[in-house]
Amino acid sequence: MATPQTNNTLDVGAIRKDFPILGREIKEGVPLVYLDSAASSQKPSQVIHAMSRFYETEYANVHRGIHTLAEEATAAFESAREKVARFVGAESPRQLIFTRNATEAINLVAHSWGRANLQDGDRVLLTQMEHHSNIVPWQMLAAELGFTIDYAPMTEDHRIDLERYGQMLEQGPKLVGFTQMSNVLGTINPVARMTEMAHGAGAVVLVDGAQSVPHMAVNVAELDVDFLVFSAHKMCGPTGIGALYGRRELLEEMPPFMGGGEMIKRVQFDSFTVTELPSKFEAGTPPIAQAVGFGAAVDYISNLGMPAIRQHEQEMIERALDQLEEVPGVRIYGPAAEHKGAVAAFTLSDAHPHDIAEILDRRGVAVRAGHHCAMPLHEKLGLPATTRASFYLYNTSDEIDSLIEGLYDVKKVFA
C-alpha cells in the first residue's frame, strides 16, 4: 500500500519509487518521461505484486468450487468488487458489474437497456466531445432500431453549451450519454447539473468516467447518475477489466448481455432462468486476477487520497499550460485550467502531431499523437490530429520542462 499523504500534498518522489517502469531509460542516458496516462496509466509495484501473489498462492476459478483455493479466489474476487463499488459510492456491490473495459460497459448498456427501451422515432442525446466508445455503440444500435442521435454542442472555450443542451432535452431523448472529462480537451463537465436537467426531461443518464474516476472523487449517489463506466488500466490497475455501475432497478429490468455459464440460475433444453445481479451480466470465467489488481489499484490511489491527486494534477496542468503558451506556434485546445483535468492537447505550426511525437520520443518524452479516438471532435475543431500530453500522480515539474525543451527541438527541425 502507498504511503498515506498529508495536507492534500503528494510526495511524488516517494510515489515514483513505487512504479518500476519510471526508472527506465529509453536509450542510454535518456530517462523515460511518461506523459500518456490518458491513454493508460503505469502500474505500481503494489498492484503488480498483488496479482503475482494471487497467481502464486490463491488462483482457482471462482463461484464454482468448494475446495480451499476456489473459496479463497472467490473471496479475493468479491472483495475487489466491494472495494471498487465503495470507491465510486455505490450502495451495493451488486450494482458493480465487471466488464473488460469502459467500452464493453457502454456496449452492455446499449445492447441490453438500449435494445429493450429504444425504438424507431426515439432520440439519444450525446455531446460533441465524446470518445468513439460512447458514439459507435449507439450508432450501431440506431442503424438497427431506427432512433435518432443528437449531439449537444460546445461553447467557444470548449465547454458544454448548457443552454443548447437544455433546448435539446426539450426534444425528449430517452437516454443522455456524456463524458465527465474529455480525453482530448480535458473539459470537466458539470455532471450533477447535466444529470438533473436530463432527469427533469425524463431521460436515463449514462456517464463515461474513464478519464474522471482515476483523477477526482466521483460519487454516483451524489451525482445521481443511472450508469457510470470506467476502466482499471487508466487508474493504476491492469488491462482487461473495467466496470459498469448501474442503478439497481434498471439493472434488474435489463435482459442479460451475453449467455453462458455463471449468468444462469437454471438451464433446460428449451429454456433458461437468469440468475441475480451481478452474475446476470458476467457470463463465463471472469477476469479474476485482473479484479484482484483492480482492487489493489483502488487501495493504492485511495490511500494517496483523491483530493491530493486532484490538487497535484491541477498544479501540473496549470504549469504545463503556462509553459506551452510561451512556445511560439503552439495552439492549445480546451478550456482554462480551472475547468479541465490534467490533459493538454495542442498543435504546433508547421509540424504534424506524429512528427512532434516522434521527435519528443528521441528525448524519452512519451506523448500521444492522432485523433485520440475522437474523430468527430477533431472534425469539429477542423483538425486531422493533435498532440496530447497527459499527467498523473507520478509526474513532475521537471518532466513538463522536458516536454517544453523537446518542443523547441521540434521547432529547430522544422525551422
Share of the chain above pLDDT 90, in %: 97
What tens digit of pLDDT does each residue of 15-67 get? 999 999 999 999 999 999 999 999 999 999 999 999 999 999 999 999 988 99
Give the chain's domains with CATH numbers.
12-43+305-413 (3.90.1150.10), 49-302 (3.40.640.10)
Question: Does the pLDDT at position 415 exceed 90?
Answer: no
- pLDDT tens for 311-343 read 999 999 999 999 999 999 999 999 999 999 999
Is 320 within 8 Å of 403 (Cβ atoms)?
Answer: yes
Give 264-298 as a DSSP string: EEEEETTEEEE--TTGGG--SS--HHHHHHHHHHH
- Under a CB-based contact definition with an 8 Å cutoff, are residues 390 and 343 in contact? yes
CA gap 39, 21 in Å, rounded: 16
Q: How far is 169 from 150, CA to CA, in rounded Å?
A: 10
Active site residues: 373
- Name every residue whose Cβ is closer than 8 Å to that of residue 243 and which is 6 or more positions away in sequence: 84, 88, 96, 97, 98, 99, 105, 229, 230, 231, 232, 294
Residue 1: pLDDT band with limits 50, 70, 90:
low
Place of cell 447539473: 193
What confidence score (pLDDT) does residue 8 get? 76
Whether pTM exceeds 0.75: yes
